[in-house]
């Protein structure tokens, strides 16, 4: 009976398959990021940055050896950009790198377990 169960379970997996990256959406507006704090598990993510504000913004992610940003350095209201990133356990910072926006509150903390 145990052997039959093991054969059934072995047939459920597809060799070489990998899970699709999860998606995370960050909304940018004057002068905040939403969510302001985020906790995720280790893995690969598609990060979408949505400019919900009234002026141009961008999104950068740094920490734990990573420094990635959206393709367009600044994009207009209503526009979205994104990137894919593989995260290891640690603490990261999302922020808008444009003209002092980070200092005005456009930053968020990401903790990966």
pLDDT tens digits, one per residue of 13-59: 444 446 789 999 999 999 999 999 999 999 999 999 999 999 999 99
DSSP E strands in the chain: the ranges are 22-29, 32-34, 37-40, 43-51, 60-63, 66-69, 80-87, 90-95, 107-112
pLDDT tens digits, one per residue of 82-109: 999 999 999 999 999 999 999 999 999 9
* Domain residue limits, the chain: 20-112
Domain 20-112 annotated CATH 3.90.226.10: no
């Amino acid at each position: 009976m145990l052997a039959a169960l093991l054969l059934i379970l072995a047939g459920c997996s597809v060799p070489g398959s990998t899970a699709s990256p999860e998606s995370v959406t960050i909304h940018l507006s004057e002068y905040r990021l939403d969510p302001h704090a985020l906790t995720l598990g280790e893995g690969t993510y598609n990060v979408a940055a949505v400019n919900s504000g009234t002026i141009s913004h961008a999104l950068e992610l740094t920490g734990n050896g990573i420094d990635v940003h959206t393709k367009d350095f600044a994009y207009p209201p209503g526009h979205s950009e994104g990137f894919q990133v593989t995260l290891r356990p640690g603490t990261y910072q999302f922020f808008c790198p444009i003209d002092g926006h980070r200092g005005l509150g456009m930053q968020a903390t990401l903790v990966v377990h």
